[in-house]
Amino acid sequence: MSPRRSVAEALGTRAAILDRSVAVASVEGLEGLTIGRLAAELGMSKSGVLGHFGSKEALQLAVLERADGIFLAEVWEPAAPAAPGLVRLRVLCEAWISYLERQVFPGGCFFVAAAHEFDGRPGAVRDAVESRFEAWRRRLGKEAGRAVDAGELPAGTDPEQVVFELLGVVMALNHAIQLHGDQRAAARARRAVETRLMPAGERPA
């Protein structure tokens, strides 16, 4: 009848564990995230940490969900008010580049890192990462398709091709920042996006 911790306190603890986990996993990876280290950093026991999730895999899935919330708040939401089609696609790309430039996650894009870590290991974590990317590509593809339909991009442009190339630009930027600490890369990424999203009729000869 009188739990030692209130529901609010338990939720606060859970949130604190997830915040710390996102920060650690961003740099060390979702496997490098260990219960023991997490417990020590939070001044808790290992079983105290694990009790909130049940298993390491469940913790990893919760961390992924938390990271997705941050990503959507940083990249998708700022673009939502923009006009659908080419304008929104450009705003999305700018928010995406800015998210990497500002190092919202200290280890770079959380999902790109998770994709590389888990693409060779079947399981729930891999499936979750894959479905996040698919959802994101659908979102971008929808805007690219609208831009083509509205005549803002050249007729015959394949929206999925555009999304593929934009994803590549962002991955190259993430790589340049994280591995080389290259600050000029953001300007390169912006230039590449600009070229790729040049409106119909404005292409240079």
Partner DNA sequence: CCTACCGATCGGTAGG
Contact residues: a second copy, CB under 8 A:
26-29, 31-32, 106-108, 112-113, 115-117, 119-121, 129-130, 133-134, 160-161, 164-165, 167-173, 175-176, 178-180, 185, 188-189, 191-192, 201, 203-205
- In the complex with a second copy, the residue whose CB is nearer, 44 or 141, is 141
Q: Residue 184: name the closest of 168, 167, 172, 201 by CA.
A: 172
Instruction: Report the half-sphere exposure of 72 (CA within 13 A, side-chain side).
Output: 11
Nearer Cβ to DNA, position 48 or 154?
Answer: 48
Whichever of 25 and 170 has its CB closer to DNA, that residue is 25
For a second copy, which is the closer residue by CB, 81 or 201?
201
The pair of three-digit structure tokens given for residue 108, joined into one six-digit string: 């770079």
Q: What is the DSSP letter of 157?
A: -
- Report what 204 binds from a second copy, DNA, none; CB cut-off 5-8 Å by kind: a second copy
- What end-to-end distance do the CA atoms of the chain give, in Å? 76
Is 52 a binding residue for DNA by CB under 7 A? The answer is yes
Taking contact as CB under 7 A, which single stretch among the options 27-35, 117-125, 171-179, 183-191 is the one that binds DNA? 27-35
Least spacing, CB of residue 63 vs DNA, in Å: 12
Q: Which is nearer to DNA, 34 or 98 (CB)?
A: 34
Residue identified by tokens 């959802």 is: 135
CA 165/CA 155 separation, integer angstroms? 17
Residues 6+ apart with CB under 8 A from 173: 97, 100, 185, 186, 188, 189
Residue 50 is a binding residue for DNA (CB under 7 A): yes
Tokens of residue 47, six digits: 């079983």
27 binds, options DNA, a second copy, none, Cβ within 5 to 8 A by partner type: a second copy
Question: DSSP labels for 38-50?
Answer: HHHHHT--HHHHH
In the 8-state DSSP scheme, what is residue 103? T
Question: Is residue 36 part of the contact set for DNA (CB under 7 A)?
Answer: yes
Q: Does 10 bind DNA (CB under 7 A)?
A: yes
Answer with the entry of a second copy, DNA, none that 44 interacts with (C-beta below 5 to 8 A by kind): DNA
Q: Which is nearer to a second copy, 16 or 164 (CB)?
A: 164
47 binds DNA (CB under 7 A): yes
Give residues with Cβ within 8 angstroms of 127, minimum separation 6: none
